[in-house]
Amino acid sequence: MSFIVIINNLLFLSLSVGAVCVLYTQGVGNREWREYGRTEVIDNTLNPDFVTKFILDYFFEERQNLRFDLRLERPLTGIPGKNCGTIIIKAEELGNCRESVLMQFCGNKLDKKDFFGKSDPFLVFYRSNEDGTFTICHKTEVVKNTLDPVWQAFKIPVRALCNGDYDREIKIEVYDWDRDGGHDYIGEFSTSYRELSKGQSQFSVYEVRLSFSPCTVTLLSCLVDTEVSFLDYIKGGTQINFTVAIDFTASNGNPSQPTSLHYLSPYQQNAYSMALRAVGEIIQDYDSDKMFPALGFGAKLPPDGRVSHEFALNGNPDNPYCSGIEGVMEAYYQSLKSVRLYGPTYFSPVINHVARYASLVKDGSEYFILLIISDGVISDMAQTKESIVNASALPMSIIIVGVGPAEFDEMIELDGDEIRISSRGRFAERDIVQFVPFRDYIDRRGNHILSMARLAKDVLAEIPDQFLQYMRTRGIKPQCPPQSYSSKLPAAPLQTQI
Ligand SMILES: *[C@@H]1O[C@H](CO)[C@@H](O)[C@H](O)[C@H]1NC(C)=O
Ligand SMILES: *[C@@H]1O[C@H](CO)[C@@H](O)[C@H](O)[C@H]1NC(C)=O
């Protein structure tokens, strides 16, 4: 959120003083006050309106004390017993909007204000606050001695201009600069971000109101630059569909033997459980229903012993969902007891399985992440590559964790970090595979918590970019969060006597 400091009616005996406001925050542990930031110094006014805003992270679970000190360059001497003015502190939640806009304006036939010469015009931009008051958000440079100034293009975040509210009034005042600080008012006009952004395709001419003679300001260019994040989509309701696929091929070793990668020991989790838990526990926070489909591949299933390369770990093909990561673990342990490890190692059936669902929701409302945990050599490399090339056009990413001591050459190739993966001359539209070898994350001193956090971090590192690439190339914008989300904070200003 941002804090805007507005000071009204300071009673100065000397007019040549400068005012500055300093914000302090308090440490959580030691309660010590530390300077967080200070505004610019404003001279010669009884109502300094600071442009500087303090932007602080807001923590729901913490009590955050703030202290504002107002300082003057010369001591403020009020008349004893008289009110020396008020300081108004406003807190407003920042819009989660990461757009910025690059604009350039020029003036036409502005009023001549200077006795010698023409005018020295500059523009002051104000955004309107929720309570209808205005706050300065930008000042242009002064163009000397002209009635037809062309100001330099400037870039401003849309949240500074209108707090992300496209229809909120933006007021622009035109002034003639004066050396003594008493700038002459030429006139003003109002617009909104929505109106300004029309300037992307056409010139917009604004009549300057309240000016002595008719004059205009023209918006010469307007370029919108959007920077949306992964979280914008999640807040906007995009669901992450997280599917797990586990390798049940014989190369993992007999699960009843301690040498097996699937060995279940009462003392220590095996590599599959550890990787599953590490990645799953991070991802589950983005999946609101926390119901995860879990698949296995490369095993002979009961009762008839047929080999399957895509079976539901919970034994229910119509409803492969497991409840939470615990549910996935439980289904994995149950499967180990019922299926027979077999082979070969085929990846393409599970990739196609998820791709079938991903191809049904291409509107950005769902994004699919498939976690494949496997011990080694892939037997259907050509099909797997084709499946990945096909899936690269879908809202889908694939994470592969390699367990055991094997060389993971194929998996490294699938990762495509160096050479974009292709199949029969067709290249993947984007990189959707991230591979990590589990053994690189084993902490010899047994600090699994830290090492698994590192694994999850590395394995998930590329997902937000892969996700954003999909959304960007499809022109999908994040949905706006429900209105209540952005208007929970009180808009009423706090008033403090100083
Ligand atoms: C999530 O994906 C799986 C396939 O991996 C599918 O069975 C399931 O229906 C999907 N869930 C939703 C809500 O789309
Ligand atoms: C990839 O897509 C093509 C065209 O839709 C399809 O014919 C092919 O079977 C797919 N490949 C795999 C391995 O699923």
Closest listed ligand to the CA of 388: 2
Closest listed ligand to the CA of 313: 1
Closest listed ligand to the CA of 370: 1
Whole-number Å distance, alpha carbon 434 to ligand 2 midpoint, is: 21
Which ligand 1 atom sits closest to the C-alpha of 358? 2
Q: Which amino acid is at 375?
A: D
Indicate the fold that domain 99-226 takes in CATH: Immunoglobulin-like (2.60.40)
Residues contacting 303, CB < 8 A, separation 6+: none
Task: Say which residue, 480 or 341, is predicted with more confidence.
Answer: 341
Give the model's pLDDT for residue 83.
56
Assign domain 239-473 one CATH number from 3.40.50.300, 3.40.50.360, 3.60.150.10, 3.40.50.410: 3.40.50.410
Q: Which residue has a Cα nearest atom 14 of ligand 2? A: 387
Whole-number Å distance, alpha carbon 293 to ligand 1 midpoint, is: 7
Which ligand 2 atom sits closest to the C-alpha of 348? 13
Give the model's pLDDT for residue 284.
82
Confidence of residue 494 (pLDDT cuts 50, 70, 90): very low
Q: Which of 67-81, 253-267, 277-291 has the highest mean pLDDT?
A: 253-267
Q: Could you tell me if 272 and 246 are in contact, meaning their C-beta atoms sit under 8 angstroms apart?
A: yes
- Range from 22-26, 301-305, 310-314 carrying the lowest mean pLDDT: 22-26
Whole-number Å distance, alpha carbon 427 to ligand 2 midpoint, is: 13
Helices of type H across 363-420: 381-391, 409-415
> In the structure encoding, which two tokens stand for residue 281, read together?
């526990």
Give the model's pLDDT for residue 498.
36
Ligand 2 pocket mutation pick from 390, 394, 414 by most atoms within 8 angstroms of CB: 390
Which residues, judged by CB distance below 6 Å to any ligand atom, belong to the binding site of ligand 1? 241, 243, 293, 320, 353-354, 357, 366
Task: Convert 80-103 to b/e letters by CB count within 10 Å (16 or more is b).
Answer: eeeeebebebbbbbbbbbebbbeb
Give the model's pLDDT for residue 25.
83
**Cα–Cα separations (whole angstroms), residue 482 to 237, 239, 443:** 10, 15, 44
Interstrand relation of 121-128 and 422-423 (parallel, antiparallel or unpaired)? unpaired
Confidence of residue 402 (pLDDT cuts 50, 70, 90): very high
| Residue 143 DSSP SS3 | coil
pLDDT above 90 covers a percentage of the chain that reads 51
Task: Say which residue, 395 or 8, is predicted with more confidence.
Answer: 395
Give the model's pLDDT for residue 329.
95
Confidence of residue 279 (pLDDT cuts 50, 70, 90): confident
The residue among 327, 372, 305, 318 whose CA lies nearest residue 345 is 372
Whole-number Å distance, alpha carbon 88 to ligand 1 midpoint, is: 52
Whole-number Å distance, alpha carbon 305 to ligand 2 midpoint, is: 29
pLDDT above 70 covers a percentage of the chain that reads 84
Give the model's pLDDT for residue 94.
54
The tens digit of pLDDT for each residue in 142-183 reads 999 999 999 999 999 888 898 878 889 999 999 999 888 889
Q: Could you tell me if 176 and 183 are in contact, meaning their C-beta atoms sit under 8 angstroms apart?
A: yes
- pLDDT > 80? residue 88: no
Give the model's pLDDT for residue 30.
58
Closest listed ligand to the CA of 382: 2
Which ligand 2 atom sits closest to the C-alpha of 383? 13
Whole-number Å distance, alpha carbon 286 to ligand 2 midpoint, is: 30
Ligand 1 pocket mutation pick from 357, 369, 372, 394 by most atoms within 8 angstroms of CB: 357
The tens digit of pLDDT for each residue in 16-52 reads 457 788 888 876 555 678 888 888 888 777 677 777 7
Whole-number Å distance, alpha carbon 171 to ligand 1 midpoint, is: 49
Q: Which residue has a Cα nearest atom 12 of ligand 2? A: 387
Whole-number Å distance, alpha carbon 320 to ligand 1 midpoint, is: 9
Whole-number Å distance, alpha carbon 363 to ligand 2 midpoint, is: 21
Ligand 2 pocket mutation pick from 348, 386, 389, 432 by most atoms within 8 angstroms of CB: 386
Residues contacting 496, CB < 8 A, separation 6+: 68, 86, 87, 88, 89
Give the model's pLDDT for residue 103.
94
Q: Which amino acid is at 122?
A: F
Q: How would you classify residue 365: left for phi > 0, otherwise alpha for psi between -120 and 50, otherwise beta? A: alpha
Which residues, judged by CB distance below 6 Å to any ligand atom, belong to the binding site of ligand 2? 348, 352, 383, 386-387, 390
Whole-number Å distance, alpha carbon 386 to ligand 2 midpoint, is: 7
The tens digit of pLDDT for each residue in 184-241 reads 999 999 999 999 988 877 789 999 998 889 999 999 999 887 777 787 788 788 999 9
Q: Which residue has a Cα nearest atom 4 of ligand 1? A: 354
Q: Could you tell me if 296 and 311 are in contact, meaning their C-beta atoms sit under 8 angstroms apart?
A: yes
Task: Say which residue, 110 or 57, is predicted with more confidence.
Answer: 110
Which ligand 2 atom sits closest to the C-alpha of 386? 13
Helices of type H across 236-347: 271-283, 324-338
Which ligand 2 atom sits closest to the C-alpha of 389? 1
Give the model's pLDDT for residue 283.
83
Every domain of the chain and the residues it spans: 2-93, 99-226, 239-473
Which ligand 2 atom sits closest to the C-alpha of 390? 1
Q: Could you tell me if 8 and 86 are in contact, meaning their C-beta atoms sit under 8 angstroms apart?
A: yes
Whole-number Å distance, alpha carbon 469 to ligand 2 midpoint, is: 22
Ligand 1 pocket mutation pick from 239, 243, 313 by most atoms within 8 angstroms of CB: 243
Whole-number Å distance, alpha carbon 358 to ligand 1 midpoint, is: 8
